[in-house]
C-alpha cells in the first residue's frame, strides 16, 4: 500500500529544484499524485510507464515524428501518468501546440522545464519527498497499531475501540460485531450536531454503497470497502463500510460517516491495519462468553444429574453466578435452528451452533432490558431459560410466561424456534422438576405438534402419564407390536391399512366419514377395519382397544421415521 503514497504535482512545483518550471497545459490535473519518477529515452515508453509516474523528457526520441508527438500524451493519460515535464530547446525548440492541447483535453499536467535544470536533481528532489512521506506513513501506522493493541491488551471493549477509532478518523463510527451481536456507536462529536442524522446515514442499506478496492500497484488489492457520497439540504457527507475480517472470514464491520470532508488514504491505511485487531477482540470476547457458558452449563448439569443434591451446597454455588435457587422458576428450553437446512452436514452443524450462540446472546440482552430475574445458559438440550415470575402468583403465572415467551420470540424470529415450557417449581428440587418437564415438552411436543411451536408440559395430556411409566425401549416395542403388522401388510399388498386407521381415529370412529375423506367405498373401509383387527388383535370399534391403537400410532410418530402411511 505504501507504494501508492506520493506527492501531488502541485506540491512538486513548490520544490526548489522545480523553481523555474511552468505549467503550460493540463492545469486541472495538478492534484494528480506522483509516486515515482521516470525518464523517456525511447519512443515506445508505454511499456515502462506505470500509474503515478512523473515523466521527464527532452523530446529526443520523438523530435522528428509529429504523429508520435500527437499520440504520446493521450496514451500516457490512459496509463494513469501523473505529469509530463518537458525540457525543450535541446532537441525541440518549443513544446508543440498539439501536445499542449492534448494535455488540456486529458487533464494531464504538462510542465516546461528550464534548459539548465538537471534531471538527476529533479529526480532526487521528488523521490526524497516520496520516501519521507512513506516513512511518515509507516511511523503513523505503527503508532496507531501500537495504540489499539495496548487498548485491547488492557481489556478495552468494543465501546472503547469505537471511541478511539472515531477520534482517529475524526468521524462518527459504528463498529458491529456479527459474531456476538454487539454494536458500539462513537464520535457523535464529529457529527453535524444531530445524532439522529449520523445514525440514519450509518444505518443506510449496504446495497446503496458502491464497492471499491484500495489497491497497490505492487501488492494488488489490500482493502475492499464500500463508499457513498450523500448530500442533504444542509450537509454533505461521505459514508464508508469496511468488513472486519480475519483468515478470509468476516466477523463484523466498521461503518463511518464524515461530514464536509472525505476519508483519506491514511484513513484507509489505518482501517486496513486495525481490522485484524478488531477481529481479534471479537474472537476473544466470543471465547470468554463460551467459557462462562461452559461453567454455568456444567453447574446445571451437576444439579440435574445428582440423585440427591445437597440443596444448601448447590444454592451456595448458585450464588457465585448471581442466581438465587431458592426462588420459584419456570423453565423454558429453546431449540433454535437455521430457517433453511444446509445440505453439507458440517456446514449445517456449524450454522446450527452459530444460531444457538447468537440466540443466547439476544435472549440474554432481552432479559436484561426487561429486568427479568432469570437463569440463562446454552445447553446440550437447547437454550435454557429459567424465569422467576416476580410479583405474579397462581394462575396468572402461565399467562405471564406466555407473554414473555412471545416477546422473546420476536427477537429471534430469524430462526426456526421450538420451545418447551415446564410448570412452576420452587427451590432446587423445583428447578430440577421444571427442567425435566420443559425438556419433555420440547422433545415430545416437537414430535407430536411439529417444529416452530411453544409447547407447555401440561399440553402433553395423557402422554405425561404414558411416557413417564416405561423406558423408551419399552415404548418403542409397544408401538412396533401394533404398527409393524400393518406396515408389513401395506408394503406387501400395496394396501392402505395405516392410512385408513389414522383417518378413522381422526374422525372419532366414524367409518362413513372416513370413506368420504379417503374417496373410497364405505364397505372397503369396513373390510380394512376388520383386517386391522385380524392383524393386531385390537378391535377399532371397541373404545378401550381403539385408545390402544391410537396410542401406538402416536408413539410410532414420536419414535418412528417417516410418515405413517409410507
pLDDT tens-place string over residues 126-139: 999 988 887 787 77
Instruction: Please report which confidence band the pLDDT of residue 272 belongs to, taking 50, 70 and 90 as the band edges.
Output: confident
Assess whether pLDDT exceeds 90 at residue 463. Answer: no
The residue with greater pLDDT, 110 or 465, is 110
Assess whether pLDDT exceeds 60 at residue 351. Answer: yes
Mean pLDDT, to the nearest integer, of 503-524? 92
Q: Which residue segments constitute the domains of the chain, with CATH numbers given?
A: 2-132 (3.40.1390.20), 155-285 (3.30.450.40), 306-466 (3.30.70.270), 472-559 (1.10.10.2840)
Question: Which residue reads 381403539 in cell numbers?
Answer: 546
Q: How far apart are CA 516 and CA 333, in angstroms?
A: 41
> Which residues 6+ apart lie within 8 Å of 140 measured at CB?
266, 270
Exposure string of 291-312, with b = 16+ CB inside 10 Å and e = fewer, is eebeebeebbeebbeeeebeee
Assess whether pLDDT exceeds 80 at residue 2. Answer: no
Assess whether pLDDT exceeds 80 at residue 466. Answer: no
Q: How far apart are CA 207 and CA 251, in angstroms?
A: 19
- Determine the pLDDT at residue 565: 41
Please state the φ and ψ torsions of residue 219, each to the nearest 5 degrees.
-85, -15
Q: How far apart are CA 192 and CA 200, in angstroms?
A: 12
Residues 61-81 have pLDDT tens digits of 888 888 888 989 999 999 999
Assess whether pLDDT exceeds 90 at residue 21. Answer: yes
Look up residue 401 and give its three cell numbers.
410466561
Assess whether pLDDT exceeds 80 at residue 362. Answer: yes
Assess whether pLDDT exceeds 60 at residue 219. Answer: no
Mean pLDDT, to the nearest integer, of 504-513? 91
Q: How far apart are CA 384 and CA 405, in angstroms?
A: 13
| Angle 132-138-143 from CA coordinates, rounded to 5° | 125
Tell me if 54 sits within 8 A of 82, measured CB to CB.
yes
Mean pLDDT, to the nearest integer, of 404-423? 94
| DSSP β-ladder status, 454-456 and 416-421 | parallel
Which candidate, 453, 161, 156, 460, places its Cα nearest to that of 334? Answer: 453
Look up residue 146 and give its three cell numbers.
501500537
Q: How far apart are CA 48 and CA 243, in angstroms?
A: 35
- Determine the pLDDT at residue 307: 85
> Which residues 6+ apart lie within 8 Å of 411 measured at CB?
362, 363, 365, 366
- Determine the pLDDT at residue 255: 94
Mean pLDDT, to the nearest integer, of 303-324? 92
Sheet holding 182-186, edge to edge: 182-186, 172-177, 249-259, 236-246, 220-231, 210-216
Assess whether pLDDT exceeds 90 at residue 395. Answer: no
Q: How far apart are CA 98 and CA 85, in angstroms?
A: 16
Residues 228-246 have pLDDT tens digits of 888 888 889 999 999 998 8
- Determine the pLDDT at residue 216: 52
The residue with greater pLDDT, 99 or 210, is 99
Q: How far apart are CA 278 and CA 301, in angstroms?
A: 34
The residue with greater pLDDT, 2 or 98, is 98
Task: Identify the weakest region by mean pLDDT among 2-11, 60-69, 445-454, 515-524.
Answer: 2-11
| Angle 199-202-203 from CA coordinates, rounded to 5° | 85
pTM, two decimals, is 0.61
pLDDT above 70 covers what percent of the chain?
93
- Give, in order, the Cα–Cα distances in Å from 81 to each of 6, 107, 128: 13, 11, 19
Please state the φ and ψ torsions of residue 183, each to the nearest 5 degrees.
-140, 140
Assess whether pLDDT exceeds 60 at residue 364. Answer: yes
- Determine the pLDDT at residue 548: 82
Instruction: Please report which confidence band the pLDDT of residue 468 belongs to, taking 50, 70 and 90 as the band edges.
Output: low
Q: Which residues pair with 227 in a beta bridge?
A: 210, 240
- Determine the pLDDT at residue 462: 62
Average pLDDT, the chain: 87
Assess whether pLDDT exceeds 90 at residue 546. Answer: no
Mean pLDDT, to the nearest integer, of 418-435? 94
- Determine the pLDDT at residue 471: 61
- Determine the pLDDT at residue 3: 45
Residues 136-187 have pLDDT tens digits of 877 777 888 888 888 888 888 899 999 999 999 999 999 999 888 889 999 9
| DSSP β-ladder status, 53-57 and 36-39 | parallel
Amino acid at each position: 500500500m505504501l507504494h501508492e503514497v506520493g506527492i501531488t504535482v502541485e506540491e512538486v512545483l513548490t520544490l526548489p529544484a522545480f523553481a523555474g518550471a511552468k505549467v503550460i497545459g493540463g492545469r486541472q490535473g495538478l492534484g494528480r499524485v506522483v509516486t515515482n519518477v521516470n525518464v523517456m529515452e525511447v519512443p515506445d515508453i508505454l511499456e515502462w510507464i506505470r500509474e503515478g509516474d512523473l515523466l521527464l523528457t527532452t523530446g529526443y526520441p520523438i523530435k522528428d515524428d509529429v504523429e508520435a508527438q500527437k499520440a504520446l500524451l493521450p496514451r500516457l493519460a490512459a496509463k494513469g501518468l501523473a505529469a509530463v515535464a518537458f525540457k525543450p530547446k535541446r532537441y525541440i525548440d518549443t513544446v508543440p501546440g498539439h501536445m499542449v492541447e492534448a494535455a488540456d483535453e486529458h487533464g494531464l499536467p504538462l510542465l516546461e522545464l528550464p534548459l539548465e535544470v538537471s534531471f538527476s536533481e529533479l529526480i532526487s528532489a521528488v523521490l526524497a519527498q516520496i520516501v519521507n512521506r512513506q516513512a511518515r506513513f509507516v511511523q503513523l501506522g505503527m503508532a496507531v497499531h501500537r495504540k489499539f493493541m495496548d487498548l485491547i491488551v488492557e481489556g478495552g471493549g468494543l465501546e472503547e475501540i469505537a471511541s478511539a477509532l472515531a477520534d482517529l478518523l475524526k468521524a462518527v463510527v459504528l463498529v458491529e460485531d456479527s459474531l456476538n451481536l454487539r454494536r458500539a456507536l462513537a464520535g457523535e462529536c464529529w457529527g453535524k450536531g444531530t445524532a439522529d442524522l449520523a445514525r440514519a446515514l450509518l444505518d443506510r442499506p449496504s446495497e446503496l454503497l458502491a464497492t471499491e478496492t484500495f489497491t497497490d500497484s505492487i501488492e494488488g488489492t489490500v482493502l475492499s470497502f464500500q463508499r457513498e457520497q450523500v448530500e442533504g439540504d444542509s450537509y454533505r457527507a461521505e459514508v464508508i463500510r469496511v468488513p472486519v475480517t480475519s483468515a478470509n472470514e468476516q466477523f463484523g464491520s466498521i461503518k463511518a460517516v464524515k461530514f464536509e470532508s472525505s476519508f483519506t488514504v491514511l484513513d484507509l491505511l489505518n482501517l486496513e491495519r486495525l481490522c485484524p485487531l478488531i477481529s481479534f477482540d471479537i474472537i476473544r470476547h466470543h471465547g470468554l462468553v463460551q467459557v462462562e457458558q461452559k461453567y454455568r452449563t456444567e453447574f446445571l448439569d451437576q444439579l440435574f444429574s445428582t440423585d440427591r443434591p445437597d440443596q444448601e451446597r448447590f444454592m451456595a454455588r448458585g450464588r457465585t453466578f448471581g442466581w438465587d435457587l431458592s426462588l420459584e422458576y419456570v423453565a423454558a428450553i429453546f431449540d433454535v435452528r437455521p430457517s433453511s437446512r444446509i445440505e453439507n452436514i458440517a456446514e449445517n452443524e456449524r450454522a446450527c451452533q452459530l444460531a444457538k450462540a447468537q440466540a443466547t446472546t439476544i435472549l440474554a440482552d432481552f432479559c436484561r432490558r426487561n429486568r427479568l430475574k432469570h437463569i440463562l445458559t446454552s445447553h446440550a438440550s437447547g437454550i435454557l431459560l429459567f424465569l422467576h415470575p416476580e410479583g405474579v402468583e397462581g394462575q396468572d403465572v402461565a399467562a405471564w410466561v406466555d407473554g414473555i415467551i412471545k416477546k422473546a420470540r420476536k427477537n429471534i424470529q430469524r430462526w426456526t424456534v421450538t420451545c418447551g415450557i415446564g410448570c412452576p417449581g420452587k427451590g432446587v428440587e423445583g428447578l430440577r422438576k421444571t427442567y425435566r418437564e420443559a425438556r419433555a415438552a420440547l422433545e415430545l411436543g416437537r414430535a407430536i405438534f411439529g417444529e416452530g411451536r411453544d409447547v407447555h408440559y401440561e399440553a402433553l395430556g395423557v402422554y405425561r402419564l404414558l411416557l413417564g411409566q416405561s423406558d423408551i425401549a419399552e415404548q418403542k416395542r409397544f408401538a412396533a407390536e401394533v404398527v409393524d403388522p400393518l406396515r408389513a401388510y401395506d408394503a406387501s399388498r400395496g394396501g392402505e391399512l395405516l392410512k385408513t386407521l389414522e383417518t378413522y381415529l381422526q374422525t372419532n370412529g366414524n367409518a362413513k366419514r372416513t370413506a368420504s375423506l379417503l374417496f373410497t367405498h364405505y364397505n372397503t373401509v369396513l373390510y380394512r377395519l376388520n383386517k386391522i383387527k385380524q392383524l393386531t388383535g385390537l378391535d377399532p370399534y371397541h373404545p378401550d382397544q381403539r385408545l390402544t391403537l391410537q396410542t401406538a400410532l402416536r408413539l410410532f410418530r414420536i419414535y418412528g421415521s417417516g410418515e405413517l402411511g409410507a
